[in-house]
Amino acid sequence: MSFHSPRARPRTLPLCSQMHVLLALHGRGRLVLCSSVMGVLSSCSHGPCPPTAPTGAKRTLSASSSQPPSGPEPGSQPLKTRTLSGMASKTTTTMAPKRVAHSPSLQSLKKPIIPKEFGGKVPTVIRQRYLNLFIEECLKFCSSNQEAIEKALNEEKVAYDRSPSKNIYLNVAVNTLKKLRGLGPGAGAGLNKTSGRRVVSHEVVLGGKLAARTSFSLSRPSSPRVEDLKGAALYSRLKEYLLTEGQLKENGYPFPHPEKPGGAVIFTAEEKKPKDSSCRICCRCGAEYLVSSSGRCVREEECYYHWGRLRRNRVAGGWETQYTCCSAAIGSTGCQVAKQHVQDGRKENLEGFVKTFEKELSGDAHPGVYALDCEMSYTTYGLELTRVTVVDTDLQVVYDTFVRPDNEIVDYNTRFSGVTEADLADTSISLRDVQAVLLSMFSSDTVLIGHSLESDLLALKVIHSTVVDTSVLFPHRLGLPYKRSLRNLMADYLRQIIQDNVDGHSSSEDASACMHLVIWKIREDAKTKR
């Protein structure tokens, strides 16, 4: 290789068809590399360079053109061959990429858009996101795109109509998404097959490989574990959650009448009563109506009412009070129609009450812990008991029966009670029968758990003061008379959806939910006290 003058012009050295390296030779024979391919050149041995083509010429190197020149040194390999082999191992591949068939996706479809509304109970962005997810799942098992879109729209509308708040909508939407994924092809078969992915435990991710084989412990006070609280231990822990006498009076619980045996008294503010004894005020629409001596309406008149609660929602320009059932403004015509007006009546006739009494117990026994829930229907008298359910600490139903009211039923209130005419067709159990059973099960020291339990005790006509009320345990941020619904409490704290049946509420489900909430509350409070 002959060296030229240090002032010689730089020459391009084509190492391959896609890369050129500019080398400049200086006076002392040093090579100045003017490129960022140091790793590529390092694989080439420093041997004599082959002659290059004139400047500007293009050459394509291939495996067939890498023939050894005439007269090579014995046992040596030309620089061009070594360079090509090194470059090929680093920059080329012989495997052609696999072609993937195009599958129609949600982007290729004309997506339905949910219209925006001010003050909606669920943001439109959240509804649109879940609608898109529903469409993607429905496309997997529906015969056509139109069918998939219609089914997804229907599922989203059902979830929205059943959800009075954003949190409940999220839970209902997640359950709906799980249901749709189970309808897809291969959903059942894929459950028994293990994927080829490597499973990494949570401990390994956080603490490394030794974390899964290492145990950590902290010294704790020798207090009983909450998970082991059963029987007497649970009863003892519940004492700090009992309602005080002031809370019982404030929430409208019945107390024994000081003068009338079998009578009760309520210390809440009395409601305004009409002057005429034959005039009643409908507890659903607020209209006045006349009744006969038997309690039936004098004239037939339909009742237009809203079954949902009033809630303040932010709208354009401020706040607006709307009903949760139909999002209508306050003062609007009711969204539901009933055949006639009805009244509550439980706080007007406070007679026929019984009171729990003390009982002797053995040394290791405790008075017991139960959750209770009742369902009521409208009669000519007002709201009367039609079903009662009692649940123990293991969420097992220990007493459940339908009850025939003393007066004629005018509205079964099935939307909330879940009781139908067929349920009471063969029932002969009366309110007195239920009172006798409950007095034999409970004592005055038995802890009863419920949600707005004063309503159930008024329907049962039972006076009991050892209670844990979840509406007081989880109060509304605005205070009384506002109370949070049991459905919202289960959705917010336990991420569970209850009262989702279109056939009405279930007293056993509500009683179990109250017991579950109280036990969860005890465990959460125990964590903060450690």
Give tens-digit pLDDT for 303-330.
Answer: 998 888 888 777 777 788 888 888 888 8
Spans in the chain with pLDDT lower than 50 = 1-7, 12-49, 51-76, 80, 84, 88-93, 101-103, 189-197, 203, 216-226
pLDDT of 308 reads 83
Structure letter (DSSP) for residue 1: -
Token representation of residue 416 = 């909330």
**Does residue 489 sit in helix, strand or coil?**
helix
What torsion, rounded to 10 degrees, do the Cα atoms 217, 218, 221, 225 define? -50
Tell me what percent of the residues of the chain surpass a pLDDT of 90: 27
Tens digits of residue pLDDT in 206-242: 555 555 555 544 444 444 444 566 788 889 899 999 9
pLDDT number for residue 269: 58
Name the 3-class secondary structure at 248: helix
Handedness of CA 341, 344, 349, 351 (dihedral sign): positive
Q: Dmax over Cα atoms in the chain, in whole Å? A: 131
Note if the pTM is more than 0.85. no
How far is residue 219's CA from residue 257's CA, in Å, rounded to a whole number? 53
DSSP strand pairing (467-469 vs 447-450): parallel
- What is the Cα–Cα distance from 499 to 406, expressed in whole angstroms? 28
Query: Which backbone phi and psi does 359 adopt, to 5 degrees?
Result: -135, 145
What is the reported pLDDT for 231?
80
Instruction: With H, G, I as helix, E, B as strand and everything else as coil, classify residue 169.
Output: helix
The answer to whether 106 and 148 have CB atoms below 8 angstroms apart is: no
What is the C-alpha separation between 228 and 232, in angstroms, rounded?
Answer: 11
Q: Is the dihedral of CA 7, 11, 15, 21 positive or negative?
A: positive
pLDDT score, position 442: 95
The two tokens of residue 45 are 């041995």
In this structure, the strands spanning 255-256 and 264-265 are antiparallel
What is the topology classification, in CATH, of domain 239-255+351-529?
Nucleotidyltransferase; domain 5 (3.30.420)
**What does the pLDDT read at residue 372?**
95
Residue that has been written with the tokens 């729209």 in this structure:
153
Show the tokens assigned to 362: 């053995």
For 487, the 3-state DSSP assignment is: helix
Structure tokens belonging to residue 114: 């949910």
* pLDDT of res. 373: 94
Contact 156, 130 (CB under 8 A): yes
**Residue 489 and residue 497: Cα distance in Å, rounded?**
10
How is 59-88 classified by DSSP, letter by letter?
----GGG-PPPSSPPTT---HHHHHHHHHH
Q: What order do you get walking across the sheet with 31-33 strand by strand?
A: 11-16, 19-25, 31-33
Cα–Cα distance, 270 to 175 (Å, whole number): 44
